[in-house]
Amino acid sequence: MKMTFSALDTSESSFTPLVVIELAQDVKEETKEWLKNRIIAKKKDGDNNDDFLTMAECQFIIKHELENLRAKDEKMIPGYPQAKLYPGKSLLRRLLTSGIVIQVFPLHDSEALKKLEDTWYTRFAFKYQPIDSIRGYFGETIALYFGFLEYFTFALIPMAVIGLPYYLFVWEDYDKYVIFASFNLIWSTVILEVWKRGCANMTYRWGTLLMKRKFEEPRPGFHGVLGINSITGKEEPLYPSYKRQLRIYLVSLPFVCLCLYFSLYVMMIYFDMEVWALGLHENSESEWTSVLLYVPSIIYAIVIEIMNRLYRYAAEFLTSWENHRLESAYQNHLILKVLVFNFLNCFASLFYIAFVLKDMKLLRQSLATLLITSQILNQIMESFLPYWLQRKHGVRVKRKLQALKADIDAALYEQVILEKEMGTYLGTFDDYLELFLQFGYVSLFSCVYPLAAAFAVLNNFTEVNSDALKMCRVFKRPFSEPSANIGVWQLAFETMSVISVVTNCALIGMSPQVNSVFPESKADLILIVVAVEHALLALKFILAFAIPDKPRHIQMKLARLEFESLEALKQQQMKLVTENLKEEPKESGKEKAT
């Protein structure tokens, strides 16, 4: 048999399987036996947690317990002398790195999933997502992503609604434009601040708002020479910091710069193509050549997507090779690398068109093509393609199973076979990145192309559904992760909105309508634009500072919680003092003597 299910070994009747451990095909019997004993030994005092914990939380706990199965006196994995162990080493990590365990994943609960899908995306209607049910099934991190996606979509609606008439009627009216751009700026600040409050609201309800970062263990991929950790005093692999710095500054940094240069090089090729297409169109003004005008942008958009995806793999490889000890450091370095490249790759051509070529018509056309193409590509690549592959695979498995006529619990067996071949959801990184780039397209050049927000809203309404489909049907169920907020993405979105203030002010200052007001003195115009920009930036920071991060009623509840815990502490201390006083008389003589 290809697999061992410890779940199938149990004899309880109403047993709901939660997590699957897939072992390699040729694992030795003694290894299986040892692993089973180690897991059972740990889980002997099992809890009864039907209602107390959500299913996602149970699976998170199982994952945590599995990752914390640690070597005691074993020197190696039984049956695999080459898979060395030392006291404290996580067994699961060694099993995974030795290729004995192929993967560990939680199972879907088809009944709960069906219920979730019904309220979530199958019946098409304009309604809120069942965020609390999503949290119950997938955990806080994924629920927060869907919460943010929904919030962001609704927040874009006013921009889309206000942008439409600008596109349809008053395209060339600069004074109304300034109003639109100012609204846009303040709006983008306010939505980010209000999100913080909404997020605090949600995570307070879920109990993760005050979640403390747990003490971090080294990440699975971290390797080094065995030594004594000066913090924990335990033996673990150590890797000198200067070596990591050398790798970062001598290899990663030059590589990233090279990639950025390559991206700019590709951009210049795109501009050559533009010139060529324009020349062709001007020579023979036909229907056919006017369509051709859009071809370079579409090709460039596709190339950008491909480059982003390729770079993503390279960045992951490099950051992993930098050998960071902590998962958080790894994530920070990865996100920084990816964000810088993606930002330049997606927006460099637009900045070049706007501020070097100063061709607003081309900017509008290029922005529209990039935005729409990347949205279509993303929807296809992310959801429908995997869904189609998945369906095909599902049919194949079912046919095979019917031929087998397996005598064990067929439904469960079929489910495991089906799900183990599903793709693995790699976290919310790519989803947030997509929203981040979309936010860039919408906000950076919003005053040139006010329709962008409308397209983004349209895309996001389908994105909610395709992402939901992806989570429920395309990927293996991911392990849930608790989280208190969207973390570094809040900072990324805020930075983007600062950059958008600068670019929008510059665009308005460059518009011929504004220039015609100051025909003789360009310097005065620039001074006024710069003054307005500084005022807007100052307003932005004051707003960000003045709007409290937590709504008042959450603040009150937290204050109450703090007060109650302090009171409890006080009472406990009083009790201790009283007990000490009772005991003291016996020892008072002794005390005085010392």
The DSSP result for 254-307, as a single string, is HHHHHHHHHHHHHHHHHHHHHHHHHHHHHHS--HHHHHHTTHHHHHHHHHHHHH
Strand partners, 236: 227
* Least separation in angstroms between CB 568 and a second copy: 12
CA distances from 545 to 193, 278, 384, 464 (A): 9, 49, 42, 31
* Residue closer to a second copy (CB basis): 357 or 527: 527
H-type alpha helices, 11-139: 29-42, 55-67, 91-97, 110-117, 131-138
- Decide if residue 243 touches a second copy (CB under 8 A): no
What is the distance of C-alpha 29 from the center of its chain? 40
CA 351 – CA 306 distance, rounded (Å): 21
CB of 120 to a second copy, least distance (A): 37
Q: Is residue 47 at the binding interface for a second copy, with CB under 8 A as the rule?
A: no
Angle at 350 between CA 168 and CA 280, to 5 degrees: 80
Question: Of residues 179, 250, 559, 574, which one binds a second copy by CB under 8 A?
Answer: 559
Cα–Cα distance, 514 to 509 (Å, whole number):
6
Residue 515 binding a second copy, by CB under 8 A: no
Q: Which of 307, 315, 318 is nearest to 265 (CA)?
A: 307
Shortest spacing between CB 7 and a second copy, in angstroms? 24
Element (DSSP H or E) covering residue 84: strand 80-84
**Taking Cα atoms as reference points, which of 215, 199, 145, 150 lies closest to residue 425?**
145
Q: What angle do CA 318, 319, 322 make, to 5 degrees?
A: 90
Based on the shown chain and the rule CB under 8 A, indicate whether residue 358 belongs to the binding site for a second copy.
Answer: no
CB atoms inside a 10 Å sphere around CB 106: 24
Q: Check: CB of residue 335 under 8 Å from CB of residue 407.
A: no
CB 92 within 8 A of CB 104: yes
The span of 22-30, 220-228, 433-441, 527-535 binding a second copy (CB under 8 A) equals: 527-535
Nearer to a second copy, 8 or 248 (CB): 248
Binding mask 209-238 for a second copy (x = CB under 8 A): ------x--------------xxx------
User: Least Å distance between CB 87 and a second copy?
Assistant: 16
Site string for a second copy, 171-210 (x = CB under 8 A): ----------------------------------------
Query: Which residue's CB is nearer to a second copy, number 408 or number 523?
Result: 523
Q: Which stretch binds a second copy (CB under 8 A): 260-268, 311-319, 389-397, 560-568?
A: 560-568
The stretch among 2-10, 129-137, 163-171, 520-528 that binds a second copy (CB under 8 A) is: 520-528
Site mask for a second copy (CB under 8 A), range 7-46, x = bound: --------------------------------------x-
Name the nearest CA neighbour of 379 among 295, 456, 448, 327. 456
CB-nearer residue toward a second copy: 1 or 231: 231
Q: Decide if 442 contacts 460 (C-beta within 8 A).
A: no
Q: What is the DSSP string of 120-150?
A: IIIS--S----HHHHHHHH-HHHHHHHHHHH
Query: Can residue 269 be called a binding residue for a second copy (CB under 8 A)?
Result: no
Applying CB under 8 A, among 522, 548, 572, 574 the residue interacting with a second copy is 522
Assigned token pair, 367? 């922005």
Q: Considering the rule CB under 8 A, would residue 593 count as an interface residue with a second copy?
A: no
Determine which residue in the list 29, 33, 173, 562 makes contact with a second copy, applying CB under 8 A.
Answer: 562
Query: Please, which residue, 404 or 556, has the CB nearer to a second copy?
Result: 556
Contact pick of 291, 310, 502, 568 for a second copy (by CB under 8 A): 502
Verify binding: residue 534, a second copy, rule CB under 8 A.
yes
Site string for a second copy, 454-493 (x = CB under 8 A): ----------------------------------------
Q: Which of 154, 560, 573, 579 binds a second copy (CB under 8 A)?
A: 560
Residues in contact with a second copy by the rule CB under 8 A: 45, 215, 230-232, 502, 522-523, 525-527, 530, 534, 556, 559-560, 562-563, 566, 581
